[in-house]
Amino acid sequence: MEFGKFIDHTLLKPNATVDDIKNLCDEAKQYNFYSVCVNSYYAALADSQLRNTDIKVCAVVGFPFGAQKASVKAFEAKQCAQDCADEIDMVLNVGMLKSGYYDLIEEEIRMVKNAIEERTLKVIFENCYLTDEQKKIACNLSIKAGADFIKTSTGFGTGGATLADVELMKKEVGDRIKIKASGGIRDRETAVAFIRAGAERIGTSSGIKILSE
């Protein structure tokens, strides 16, 4: 598989403009990335720019803090699906996970998955705020709830992806679910290291630099 197909070409800055999103999509076509990853408002725009290509549209939900009600996340995800997003990256409720409300976490993941049906769901943990045990619990809750990927971070927390976290997640889940590494991955050497550690997708705004190295 060509290297660009590991990459979700990402632009999630709050000041991203319509022209910025169009440019992101043009770059994705030029470099043949797997997808573009955008804020939910821009899912329809990205879809309009990427029609008649095999590049997917990924939209984030509950971003970046995950502190919305499960019903709100499910509604946002359903709207993204109606706007032709192929994949959803949702932030789980970090505070509720840390509080031990595991049934709530499992239920919100399941609600979002049900809302998007056959589309791919990735669950963002925001590992910088979690203990290793909480990361393992989140792994298993995501699997039980029917998610397709687990993801290290939003890129908006106090820390991004680490090799130690991907290795821990891979050891916990084996081949039961896929892993996306995201947050602070800015060069090819680092991206390759994450793939070797078990990540099957890389979320980065530095995809062009990575492919150019």
Which residues are catalytically annotated? 89, 151, 180
What is the β-pairing status of strands 149-151 and 7-11?
Answer: unpaired
> Of all residues in the chain, what percent are helix, strand and coil, respectively (each to 5)?
50, 20, 35
C-beta separation of 36 from 9 below 8 A: yes
Is residue 194 within 8 A of residue 202, CB to CB? The reply is yes
